[in-house]
């Protein structure tokens, strides 16, 4: 019997064990009813415990949540008044101009056609209310995502927990937030505002974490050597350097001019993004970082085996 079970695949053995346990439970069910149904006397009131715990927690933070709701109601009210009271020709013109500035005539035509269709359909006021909600929730989500990303970068011990929370925020449907948010913040547009911010904050936080992780150690060393405080290193060097605009690779044309052989070759430098340091560092960070960047460029523009015949021997 043992040899026969050993010759089976692991899945087949697991299936046989399950069938055997099920057959034993069915055979002994009349004599041992608890094998079929768990006794009510041994049931743990987990639902009551969880409900009591959640009620205590929600009642404890409800005053603070109502204060936050009242604070967020002001920008929502002002945004609604601004967008609803603005004449529709002006609003369509502004959106069309912004579309032309950002994406050319194609985006301008898209904005013009979309808002014209909304106006003709009779949903102008509703669409302006939605636009007001987006206008307030987007800055809120960006601020929350930036703060979460900086927290995960500055406190590595909580980074894993932050990643788990971001996964939950991004995978749970938005409607799942509505019931607890209604209990905390009450009825009103603020609930939709917070639900939208919760769903939109994780991408911003992940991008911040990724951008700060990809800042080269050389750039961080330059900021440290400049003597800047931690907030200066973060906001004047690391965050600007992590921006995609500063991810460009740099090169020095005619690099042979540095080593005296005038061979005119293009030698690619390493992508240190040091231009971002020189562009965004201020005060004491700027001159030290820029000088360090130039030194790194000169030292990496050629290797010892590429010196011309008239170059001096490298000093040890």
Tens of pLDDT, residue by residue over 11-26, are 787 888 888 888 887 8
pLDDT at residue 110 in the model: 92
Tens of pLDDT, residue by residue over 234-291, are 888 888 876 654 433 332 333 333 343 333 333 333 333 344 444 444 443 444 444 4
Which range, of 8-17, 79-88, 251-260, 289-298, averages the lowest pLDDT? 251-260
* DSSP secondary structure letter of residue 238: I
- CA dist 302 and 35 (Å) reads 78
| Alpha carbon separation from 230 to 71, 146, 220, 233 (Å, rounded) | 31, 17, 11, 5
Given pLDDT bands bounded at 50, 70 and 90, which one contains residue 90? very high
- CA dist 222 and 278 (Å) reads 10
pLDDT at residue 170 in the model: 80
Given pLDDT bands bounded at 50, 70 and 90, which one contains residue 100? very high
Domain locations along the chain: 60-213, 217-304
Which range, of 109-118, 162-171, 177-186, averages the lowest pLDDT? 177-186
Given pLDDT bands bounded at 50, 70 and 90, which one contains residue 109? very high
Q: Which residue has the higher pLDDT, 179 or 303?
A: 179
Structure tokens at 185: 């913040």
Structure tokens at 140: 């809120």
pLDDT at residue 3 in the model: 60
Q: What is the mean pLDDT of residues 61-80?
A: 87
Q: Tokens 């961080």 correspond to what residue?
A: 220
Looking at every residue in the chain, the average pLDDT score rounds to 75
CB atoms inside a 10 Å sphere around CB 28 = 12
Q: Considering the chain, what percentage of its residues have pLDDT values greater than 90?
A: 13
pLDDT at residue 118 in the model: 92
pTM for the model stands at: 0.60
Q: What is the mean pLDDT of residues 162-167?
A: 88
pLDDT at residue 237 in the model: 81
- CA dist 223 and 217 (Å) reads 10
Q: Which residue has the higher pLDDT, 313 or 50?
A: 50
Which range, of 5-9, 215-219, 225-229, averages the lowest pLDDT? 5-9
- CA dist 111 and 99 (Å) reads 7
SS3 per residue for 251-271: EECCCHHHHCCCCCCCEECCC
Q: Are strands 251-252 and 267-268 parallel, antiparallel or unpaired?
A: antiparallel
pLDDT at residue 284 in the model: 38
- CA dist 269 and 246 (Å) reads 15
């Amino acid at each position: 019997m043992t040899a026969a079970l050993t010759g089976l695949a692991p899945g087949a053995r697991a299936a046989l064990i399950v069938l055997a346990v099920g057959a034993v439970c069915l055979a002994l069910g009349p004599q041992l009813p608890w094998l079929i149904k768990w006794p009510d006397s041994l049931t743990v009131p987990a639902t009551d415990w969880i409900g009591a715990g959640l009620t205590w927690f929600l009642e404890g933070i409800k005053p603070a949540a109502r204060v936050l709701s009242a604070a967020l109601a002001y920008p929502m009210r002002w945004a609604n008044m601004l967008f609803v009271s603005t004449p529709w020709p002006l609003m369509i013109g502004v959106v069309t101009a912004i579309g032309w500035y950002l994406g050319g005539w194609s985006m301008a035509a898209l904005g013009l056609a979309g808002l014209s269709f909304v106006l003709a359909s009779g949903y102008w006021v509703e669409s302006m209310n939605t636009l007001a909600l987006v206008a307030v929730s987007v800055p809120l989500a960006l601020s929350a995502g930036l703060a979460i990303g900086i927290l995960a970068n500055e406190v590595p011990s909580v980074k894993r927990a932050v990643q788990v929370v971001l996964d939950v925020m991004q995978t749970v449907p938005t409607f799942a937030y509505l019931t607890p948010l209604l209990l905390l913040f009450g009825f009103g547009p603020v609930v939709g505002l917070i639900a939208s911010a919760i769903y939109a904050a994780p991408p911003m936080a992940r991008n911040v974490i990724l951008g700060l992780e990809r800042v080269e150690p050389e750039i961080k060393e330059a900021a440290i050597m400049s003597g800047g405080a931690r907030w200066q290193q973060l906001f004047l060097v690391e965050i600007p350097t992590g921006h995609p605009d500063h991810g460009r690779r740099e090169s020095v044309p005619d690099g042979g001019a540095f080593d005296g052989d005038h061979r005119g070759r293009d030698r690619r430098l390493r992508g240190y993004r040091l231009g971002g340091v020189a562009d965004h560092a201020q005060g004491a960070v700027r001159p030290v970082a820029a000088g360090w960047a130039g030194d790194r460029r000169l030292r990496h523009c050629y290797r010892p085996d590429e010196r011309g015949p008239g170059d001096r021997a490298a000093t040890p």
